[in-house]
Amino acid sequence: MSRERRYIRTFRYVIQLAFLLFVLFIGYRFYQFVLHFENNAYPFFERPSSVDAFLPISGLMALKYFLFTGVVDPVHPAGLILFVSAMGVSLVMKKGFCGWICPVGTVSQFFWMTGKRIFGRNFNIGKSTDTSLRSLKYILMALFLVSIGIIMPLNMIVLFFITDYYKIVDVRMLKFFTEMSQITFWVLLVHCGLSLLYKNFWCRYLCPYGALLGLLSYLSPFKIRRKEENCVHCHSCTENCPSLIVVENQDTVKSPECFACMTCVSRCPSEGALDITLGTRKNSRTLRPYLYPIILLLIIFLTIGAAMVTGNWHSQLPYEEYQRIIPEFSKHGD
């Protein structure tokens, strides 16, 4: 096995950890930003625009508005940019955003890996139950796409964009974690418990965002492909797949559950049996494993860079609006 294949999994862990630490950092800086308006004695910190990544529903509304009007939402523009960036990555690089970038996916991975150490293994849900549970995220995805993408008229989106609720929806998301209710606490605790037992419980069964990215990944020119003549049927790829895909029985991994994490590629002991490839099966070219995350990161950073250059990254909401709305919300919570 080549050194590149052997170490690609470690490379992925490093990238995942880097993004998780970055998200924690911007979360803390956003907390400092909000704290300034709640207590004027606290120094002012610039609002980190990246917090809009936690507003995918806003991103979906902003995308619809942009497609029909050509206008970028001025309040949470980074939400639109990051939403489009994640979809663009999935169209080109499979579900790589989930497997390499998403902090929720990283935390979920940490839980099931910890559970495996504690219990000696992860547990599996029966095939029929697993299929039924996986449909939940597609039902949620469909509800959002239909209610926002089809039913919600543009004038309602505009009216929502100018409400105080929308202007500080990011603050509300922050309070969801810093001032969570007992119900929220227990729901999260149960989810964490299930994540210890089952691989990627949230990603596999409940995440509508991941469901959308998985469907888009069907169109990606990048595929994990297996060559039967080189396969030794050691079962390593299937046993180690975090998405529970039976890799050894497939010539091309087409499942929307595939994160393109390349765990199967890194675990395969037979050179040339499993590879990440570009193009159709008849005209495919094997991609060196380390190039995949480089291309993925380039797509994301170039998209963000273009948004910054064109003035579509930072919120246009003035300081005075935050000064008016945040103290009132923090005081009454509505």
Find out whether 1 and 230 touch, Cβ atoms under 8 Å. Answer: no
Question: For residue 7, what pLDDT band results from cuts at 50, 70 and 90?
Answer: confident
Question: For residue 3, what pLDDT band results from cuts at 50, 70 and 90?
Answer: low
The region of weakest confidence among 1-5, 204-208, 237-241 is: 1-5
The amino acid that residue 95 corresponds to is K
Find out whether 262 and 284 touch, Cβ atoms under 8 Å. Answer: no
Q: How many domains does the chain have?
A: 1
**What range does the domain containing 175 cover?**
3-332
Q: State the pLDDT at residue 279.
A: 86
Burial class of 74 by CB neighbour count within 10 A (0 to 12, 13 to 18, 19+): middle
3-state secondary structure of 281: coil
The region of weakest confidence among 1-5, 246-250, 253-257 is: 1-5
pLDDT digits (tens, 9 = 90+) for 219-249: 999 999 999 999 999 999 999 999 999 999 9
Picking from 45, 30, 43, the residue whose alpha carbon sits closest to that of residue 76 is: 30
Percent with pLDDT over 90 in the chain? 91
H-type helices in 39-144, by residue range? 56-69, 77-93, 96, 103-119, 127-144
The Cα 92–Cα 279 span in angstroms is: 11
Between β-strands 252-253 and 285-286, what pairing exists: parallel, antiparallel or unpaired? unpaired
pLDDT digits (tens, 9 = 90+) for 281-291: 778 899 998 99
- The pLDDT of residue 4 is above 80: no
pLDDT digits (tens, 9 = 90+) for 268-319: 999 889 999 998 877 889 999 899 999 999 999 999 999 999 999 999 999 9
The stretch 32-58 carries a mean pLDDT of 94
190 vs 3, 76, 110, 257, CA distance in Å?
40, 32, 16, 23
Q: State the pLDDT at residue 334.
A: 61
The stretch 148-171 carries a mean pLDDT of 96
The stretch 144-161 carries a mean pLDDT of 96
194 vs 34, 92, 122, 327, 333, CA distance in Å?
33, 32, 10, 37, 31
Find out whether 248 and 235 touch, Cβ atoms under 8 Å. Answer: yes
Render the burial of 189-221: b for 16+ CB within 10 Å, e for the rest: eeeeebbbbbbbbbbbbbbbbbbbbbebbeebe
User: CA angle, corner 287, sides to 236 and 225, nearest 5?
Assistant: 45
Question: For residue 22, what pLDDT band results from cuts at 50, 70 and 90?
Answer: very high
3-state secondary structure of 223: strand
What does the mean pLDDT of the chain come to?
A: 94
Q: State the pLDDT at residue 325.
A: 96
The stretch 103-114 carries a mean pLDDT of 96
Q: State the pLDDT at residue 323.
A: 95
- The pLDDT of residue 201 is above 70: yes
The stretch 188-209 carries a mean pLDDT of 96
Q: State the pLDDT at residue 210.
A: 96
For the question of whether the overall pTM of this predicted structure is more than 0.75, the answer is yes
Q: State the pLDDT at residue 1.
A: 53
The region of weakest confidence among 115-124, 190-199, 281-290 is: 281-290
DSSP string, 296-325: HHHHHHHHHHHHHHTT-SS----HHHHHHH
Question: For residue 327, what pLDDT band results from cuts at 50, 70 and 90?
Answer: very high
Burial class of 244 by CB neighbour count within 10 A (0 to 12, 13 to 18, 19+): middle
Q: State the pLDDT at residue 333.
A: 63
The Cα 235–Cα 127 span in angstroms is: 19
